[in-house]
Amino acid sequence: MSTRPEIREAVQSRAAQRCEYCRMCQALQGATFHLEHIVPNAQGGSSEPENLALACPSCNLHKADRTEAVDPETGTQVPLFNPRLHTWADHFSWRDYHAVGLTAIGRATVVILQFNSPRHLLIREAEENFGLFPP
């Protein structure tokens, strides 16, 4: 899908050049972050800015067309974190370089999007060296 440059610029600016899910900084990455459809096109989501989130390739790949996942603590199906509806700090916190889910939404999102993969942990450590972590 091709997105107009002004939409990409607006989404990147709104996100302060960070993945809106795992909070990784785009500046230190060797890849361009994606404009991710929060509600997938296949589920009726639009390509308007209010349905787009800046996502690192890892979060975009792992989220895929999902909008829900199972909370590992309760076993219940819950919505994934939605950066247009939810506030990051209400659902997540940091413990060293690890993202911690504070709510069912946060816990399910941490697991499904693999926020604490070895690669994510190394990148957060590098970001700290540049004064970019915690965000």
On whether the CB atoms of residues 51 and 61 are closer than 8 A, the answer is no
Sole residue written with tokens 């067309």: 65
Q: What pTM value is reported for the model?
A: 0.94
CA-to-CA dists, residue 16 to 1, 74, 79, angstroms: 23, 33, 24
The domain locations on the chain are 5-129
pLDDT tens digits, residue range 31-41? 899 999 999 99
> Using 50, 70 and 90 to split pLDDT, how confident is the model at 28?
confident
Rounded CA-CA distance 90/110 in Å is 14
Give me the half-sphere count of Cα atoms (radius 13 Å) on the Cβ side of residue 112.
24
pLDDT at 81 over 90: yes
Question: Is the Cα torsion angle 16, 20, 22, 28 positive or negative in sign?
Answer: negative
